[in-house]
C-alpha cells in the first residue's frame, strides 16, 4: 500500500467512499488537526506522508499543500491549485474545490474549508473571526483578531500554480506549531506562545524538557541553537477593539478620580496620592486591602506596578493604538508568580485572561459613557 493510501486510512477517510463534499471537509479538518505544521526537508509528497506516518513529522509551506493535494486526488476529489497574494505582495499556493467555490489552504492554520461562493461572512476560530469579501482582484480573506483586522491574502480568480518565489510559510517562522479548537500553540527559540482571539501568552520554555515539548507538540527535534529559553519574564497580553477615540480614553486615564471608575463595583481606591508622573492608591474591597498600585501616566497609556495578595501581575502596561474607527487597547501583564516548568495549566491561563479582559471591558464601558 502506498504512503498516500496509508495516510488516508490513518486520517479516517472511508476506503472506496464516493467523493462527497462533506468527506473532503472532514479530511481537511483531520489533516489540519493531526499533521503538525512545521518545517520539513525537501522531498515528494509521498515521502513526507511516510515521515508523518512513521514518526509524526510535520509539514509546512508548499510541501504541506502538495501532500494534502495528493491525499485529496487519491480520494477522488476534483481539486486544483490557485494563487493568492498577501498584503505584502507575497505569493502563495492554495487549493480550490467545487469549481473554485471552496478554498482549502492547509499552509495557514485554517480550521475548516472556507466557502468563496457564497462569501463566508464570518467563521469563528480559536484565534479570531475569518471573513471573505469581494475585491476588485478576486475574493479577499480577512482576519479579525485581538482588536484589529487585517487582510490575509487575495485569491486569484483564475486557477493555476503560483509563480516562482512562492512562499506558503505561516506568519513568522513556524518552529513548532499546533492548532487547537480554541487556541494556537507555537514554540520557537525557547519561548512557548499560546494565543487565542483575545490574548497572547509568552513564557520561557527550554527544550531541556523534551517530554514537555512532546506532550504539547508530539515528536520534536528542535535545532540545537534554539534549546535555551529566553531570559524574558512570562507575559500575558489581552487586546480589545474600542469605538472610543484615543483622546477620550487618555483623558479618563489622566486622573485617579476618573480612572477609579473602572474598578469593580465593590472595590474602592483609597489612600490616593497624586505624583508628578501619575498617582498611587490602595485598592480595597470593603475593609480588606487587595493591592497597592503605582500608576504612571505615559503619552500612549499607563504603566501600573502592583503589590499585594490580589496582585496577580507585577506590572500591567496599557497601550492605546489609534485605528480608523476608534482605539485598539492592549494590556500587557508581567506575571507575578513563577510559571511551572511545563507552562500554565489551561484553567489558570483562562483565569488570567479573564482578569485582564475585565479591566479592558470596564475601561471601554466607562470611556463610552456607561
pTM score, whole prediction: 0.77
Q: How far apart are CA 138 and CA 154, in angstroms?
A: 6
pLDDT value for 224: 56
**Percent share of the chain, pLDDT over 70:** 90
pLDDT at residue 363 is higher than 70: yes
235/248 Cα distance (integer angstroms): 27
In tens, the pLDDT along 68-97 reads: 999 999 999 999 999 998 888 888 899 999
- Among 115-124, 183-192, 315-324, the range with the most confident prediction by mean pLDDT is 315-324
pLDDT digits (tens, 9 = 90+) for 7-40: 999 999 998 888 999 999 999 999 998 888 877 7
Q: Between 61-74 and 21-34, two packed helices, what is the crossing angle to 10 degrees? A: 140
| Residues 6 or more apart whose Cβ sits within 8 Å of residue 319 | 300, 301, 329, 330, 331, 332
Mean pLDDT of 354-365: 96
Residue 162 confidence (pLDDT) above 60: no
Which domains are present in the chain? 3-159 (3.30.2140.20), 176-367 (3.30.530.20)
For the stretch 307-330, pLDDT in tens is 998 899 999 999 999 988 899 999
Confidence category of residue 55, pLDDT binned at 50, 70, 90: confident
What is the percentage of the chain residues whose pLDDT exceeds 90?
A: 55
Amino acid at each position: 500500500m502506498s504512503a498516500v493510501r496509508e495516510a488516508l486510512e490513518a486520517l479516517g477517510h472511508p476506503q472506496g467512499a464516493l467523493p462527497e463534499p462533506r468527506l473532503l471537509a472532514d479530511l481537511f479538518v483531520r489533516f489540519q488537526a493531526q499533521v503538525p505544521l512545521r518545517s520539513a526537508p525537501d522531498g515528494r509528497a509521498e515521502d513526507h506522508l511516510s515521515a508523518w506516518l512513521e514518526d509524526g513529522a510535520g509539514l509546512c509551506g508548499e510541501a504541506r499543500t502538495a501532500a494534502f493535494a495528493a491525499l485529496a486526488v487519491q480520494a477522488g476529489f476534483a481539486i486544483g491549485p490557485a494563487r493568492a497574494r498577501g498584503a505584502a505582495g507575497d505569493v502563495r499556493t492554495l487549493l480550490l474545490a467545487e469549481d473554485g467555490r471552496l478554498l482549502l489552504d492547509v499552509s495557514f492554520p485554517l480550521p475548516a474549508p472556507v466557502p468563496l461562493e457564497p462569501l463566508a461572512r464570518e467563521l469563528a476560530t480559536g484565534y479570531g473571526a475569518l471573513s471573505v469579501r469581494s475585491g476588485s482582484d478576486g475574493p479577499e480573506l480577512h482576519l479579525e483578531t485581538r482588536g484589529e483586522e487585517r487582510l490575509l491574502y487575495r485569491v486569484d480568480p483564475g486557477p493555476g500554480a503560483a509563480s516562482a518565489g512562492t512562499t506558503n510559510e505561516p506568519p513568522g517562522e513556524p518552529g513548532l506549531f499546533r492548532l487547537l479548537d480554541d487556541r494556537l500553540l507555537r514554540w520557537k527559540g525557547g519561548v512557548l506562545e499560546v494565543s487565542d482571539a483575545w490574548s497572547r501568552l509568552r513564557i520561557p520554555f527550554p527544550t531541556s524538557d523534551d517530554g514537555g515539548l512532546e506532550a504539547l507538540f508530539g515528536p520534536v527535534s528542535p535545532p540545537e541553537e534554539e534549546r535555551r529559553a529566553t531570559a524574558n519574564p512570562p507575559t500575558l497580553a489581552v487586546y480589545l477593539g474600542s469605538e472610543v477615540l484615543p483622546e477620550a480614553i487618555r483623558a479618563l486615564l489622566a486622573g485617579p478620580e476618573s480612572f477609579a471608575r473602572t474598578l469593580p463595583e465593590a472595590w474602592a481606591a483609597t489612600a490616593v496620592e497624586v505624583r508628578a508622573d501619575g498617582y498611587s492608591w490602595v485598592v480595597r474591597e470593603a475593609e480588606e486591602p487587595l493591592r497597592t498600585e503605582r500608576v504612571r501616566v505615559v503619552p500612549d497609556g499607563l504603566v501600573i506596578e502592583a503589590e499585594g495578595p490580589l496582585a496577580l501581575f507585577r506590572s500591567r502596561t496599557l497601550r492605546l493604538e489609534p485605528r480608523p474607527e476608534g482605539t485598539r487597547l492592549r494590556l500587557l501583564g508581567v506575571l507575578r508568580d513563577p510559571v511551572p516548568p511545563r507552562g500554565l495549566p489551561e484553567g489558570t491561563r483562562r483565569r488570567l485572561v479573564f482578569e485582564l479582559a475585565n479591566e479592558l471591558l470596564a475601561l471601554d464601558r466607562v470611556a463610552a459613557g456607561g
